[in-house]
Structure 1
Amino acid sequence: MSNKKYYWLKLKEDFFEEDAIAWLEEQEKGKDYCLFYLKLCLKSLKSNGLLIRNVGSMLVPYDAKTLAKITNTDMDTVRVAMDILTKIGLIQILENGEIFITQLQNMVGSETKWAEKKRLQRQKKDNVPRLSGQCPIEKEIEKEIEKEIEQDTDKDNVVVNCFKYAQKVGVLLTPYHYQELVSYIEDGVDDNLIIRAIDIAVGSGNRNFNYIKGIINNWLSSNIKTLLEAEDHKRKFKKSKSIGEKDGKYQDYAKHLDSKVEGGLSTEETIRAAAELGIEL
């Protein structure tokens, strides 16, 4: 059964009193700009504040004409609003043309269809007077429901934290990259491992998300999903490499001995020959 997810916009009671919004409303046609801004927020709810179109295999930025169409706003209002919203920092235009709603992270609520159903069931149950206490089975079921809802919320928070960290260190992300992060987390990849992949990519001077994906997928090919497993794998690799190098030295040493006199070497000569190859006996 599909477990569709619902998103909503959360506004604090003093939203229209915040400096940026209050100043925006003071402008001529300011209320139209505020409405346009809120519509952009709604359009970007599922993509964590990013707006860009996927046309075939290309990512195409929204132009004023398209924004006017999807928000039902006249073109002139869109042009002026985009300019103002950018100047006051409510939106950013990223390098590849994406529109990023900077404050959306603090304005999003979400809930899966399953969680909504269970929440409504609990509300309904709470409104019904009980003649007796819950039986043990009912209590266990309710605990499981609460646990599932908490896990779902935790996953959302983990993805958002990874996304924010990537943006903080200069990785350019799209809504589709966000969904790929969701998939990694749902597949059991630890968020600390994702952040390590981001650090490795940035440390090598590559801020491309596909490069980060390559690192993660390389770990997954070895069934590595946690930072501890990655570090353990690295240690084992270094150890095997060291053994391989040591074996190579002994092979060179054996050839070296074969080149010596047929009667063999004395103990001192053997040690001296090994030392020439950097081998301690």
Structure 2
Amino acid sequence: MAEKIYYWIKLRMDFFKSPAVKLLRRMSGGDTYALIYLEMILLSLENNGFIYFTGIGKDMADEISLVLDEKKIDVEFLLSFLTNKKMIEFSDPNVFKFSEDVTEGLIGKEQSSAKRVRAWRKRQKALQSNSDVTTSNTELEKELDIEKEIDIDKDIKKETKKKVRHKHGHYGIVLLTDDQFEKLKNEFPNDWERWIERVDGYCQSTGKKYKDYLATIRNWSKKDKKKSNSFAGATDEKAYDDMPF
């Protein structure tokens, strides 16, 4: 079985802007003539740009109108127009061809097997594109997961850093986190060091420990302000509720 051959034409971007086509379309019924013109070019593809009179119709115009299912009067006018503009050339009354400048670069063909291969390649390209998108999405998800893990690690380190208490004072008994240490310096800008040493020395001499040394310093400071007038210089810790002077 002979392999089927497909033909096509490729219109130039300026096809409808060419002087001949523009003149043709300006005439009454011009759009119909332009359509028949394209149909005739398609009809000539199997014969390399030639159209032959086979005797089915009364004459060339009659046969073309029958094949294209167009009015004979329109085909007759178009054949006369194309001949005058040297866009077709009759070698005899029974055959004509489109001039080379009309069909040059417009006509193409391929066998059915080539068409199938082209369609297969197009499908493969689409599948590959989908695969690339899927792979890209998978890689993106992995990157997002890694970024989330990094952010979580950073948050954990930040929280850990906040909770770690560092030793302060001469004996290293006062324990403060970085956050607490900063708060202490902000609340007691002029004497934070004195408060640390005061609590540190007291704990060293008494063996006493506190859960929250910042809170202890705050409490001592409040009591110090309340009792400083009546107990200035006192050394009785009980009078100050464990706050030495």
**Scaled by the length of structure 1, what TM-score is found?**
0.41
Look at both structures and tell me which one has the larger radius of gyration over its CA atoms. Answer: 2
**Scaled by the length of structure 2, what TM-score is found?**
0.47
